[in-house]
């Protein structure tokens, strides 16, 4: 699928200073921002994203693969024979939130087709205010029953501390917090994907199915349907949120992807959140070849309380170096 490209190294070398500068500028903006978005908006149900999923406004339950699958639908880690190692960074300037993480997904070294994944992320939100800091660790596994059907699950451990103020500041009598633990708990996610043909996929996913009972680990359930060819992909998702708000809310999203010259994906998406009553539009692009991928996604809410999400992700394809057996084909 991917032919050799003599300009690849030159292109990456020339792009590196621009990418580094962009990250530094955006990062400094996020750290120094006076938060305008509510904490729950900046938390975004605790979701972690790659550049692809952010560009599609989260519409990646059916066709998201590799590290995106570990973060959204673990069943799709077994969608193809891969061994990927990567990193991702999410920035929310108006909410003063930053998340940085690394992950590995391997479906190549197992003779049975079982896929496994491990991810770790660190988050800080509003360091001059609520100062929420903590880590997100997850371990996933997926099994392909056939070329058409696969299931997966992941266990997630979250540990967070936060400041908070009451009528008398951070005093205990006032109910305030001073860098105290607000969450130490586990969550269980699970997913299943039915792919009757290479171009059509339907998925069901549940997040925090063990019902942790707090809004930082909301119990979610939903699904997605996607249609794709080697050139374009379209997908629509709908997720119900049972515990962030006083009543069940819905997060609906849709996105499309166009692959140019077999290497340059262009993406766009849209989502509506009935909990926050906010619409959002997203765009993104990337570079993909046999050995690596580099992706960026930008999402912006429209209307009142506008906020921005910027996500960068990089993945190295270990199997391309001959360090793991891989066909790249769907099981």
> Residue 194 — pLDDT band, cuts 50, 70, 90?
very high
Residue-wise pLDDT tens digits, 211-270: 988 888 999 999 999 999 989 999 999 999 998 888 999 999 999 999 999 999 999 999
Res. 153: pLDDT tops 70: yes
Cα–Cα distance for residue pair 280/286, rounded to 1 Å: 20
Residue-wise pLDDT tens digits, 103-148: 999 999 888 889 999 999 999 998 888 889 999 999 999 999 998 9
Does residue 191 contact residue 73 with C-beta atoms inside 8 Å? yes
> Residue 323 — pLDDT band, cuts 50, 70, 90?
low
- Average pLDDT of the residues in 162-169: 62
Does residue 298 contact residue 283 with C-beta atoms inside 8 Å? yes
DSSP summary character for residue 46: G
Residue 326: the pLDDT is: 44
**Which whole-number Å values give the CA distances from 23 to 6, 8, 9, 71, 115, in the listed order?**
27, 21, 21, 22, 32
Residue 165: the pLDDT is: 58
> Residue 188 — pLDDT band, cuts 50, 70, 90?
very high
Q: Give the strand pairing for 249-260 and 264-273.
A: antiparallel
Residue-wise pLDDT tens digits, 45-78: 889 999 999 999 999 999 999 999 999 999 999 9
Cα–Cα distance for residue pair 328/194, rounded to 1 Å: 19
Prediction pTM value: 0.83
């Amino acid at each position: 699928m991917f032919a050799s490209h003599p300009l690849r190294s030159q292109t990456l070398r020339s792009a590196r200073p621009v990418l580094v500068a962009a990250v530094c500028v955006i990062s400094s903006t996020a750290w120094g921002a006076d938060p305008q978005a509510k904490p729950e908006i900046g938390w975004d149900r605790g979701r972690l994203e790659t550049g692809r999923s952010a560009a599609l406004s989260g519409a990646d339950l059916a066709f998201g693969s590799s590290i995106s699958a570990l973060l959204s639908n673990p069943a799709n880690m077994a969608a193809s024979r891969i061994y990927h190692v990567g990193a991702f960074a999410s920035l929310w300037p108006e909410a003063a939130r930053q998340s940085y993480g690394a992950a590995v997904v391997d479906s190549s070294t197992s003779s049975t087709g079982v896929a496994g994944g491990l991810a770790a992320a660190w988050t800080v939100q509003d360091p001059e205010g609520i100062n929420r800091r903590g880590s997100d660790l997850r371990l996933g596994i997926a099994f392909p029953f056939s070329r058409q059907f696969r299931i997966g699950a992941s266990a997630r451990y979250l540990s967070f501390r936060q400041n908070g103020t009451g009528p008398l500041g951070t005093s205990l009598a006032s109910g305030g917090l001073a860098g105290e633990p607000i969450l130490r708990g586990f969550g269980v996610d699970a997913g299943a994907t039915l792919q009757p043909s290479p171009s059509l996929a339907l998925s069901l996913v549940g997040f925090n199915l063990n019902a942790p009972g707090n809004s930082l680990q909301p119990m979610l359930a939903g699904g997605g349907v996607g249609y794709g060819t080697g050139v374009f992909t379209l997908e629509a998702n709908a997720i119900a949120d049972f515990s962030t708000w006083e009543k069940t809310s819905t997060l609906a999203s849709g996105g499309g992807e166009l692959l140019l010259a077999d290497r340059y994906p262009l993406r766009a998406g849209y989502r509506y959140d009935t909990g926050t009553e906010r619409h959002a539009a997203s765009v993104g692009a990337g570079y993909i070849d046999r050995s690596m991928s580099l992706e960026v996604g930008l999402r912006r809410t429209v209307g009142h309380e506008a906020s921005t999400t910027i996500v960068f992700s990089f993945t190295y394809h270990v199997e391309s170096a001959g360090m793991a057996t891989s066909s790249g084909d769907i099981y």
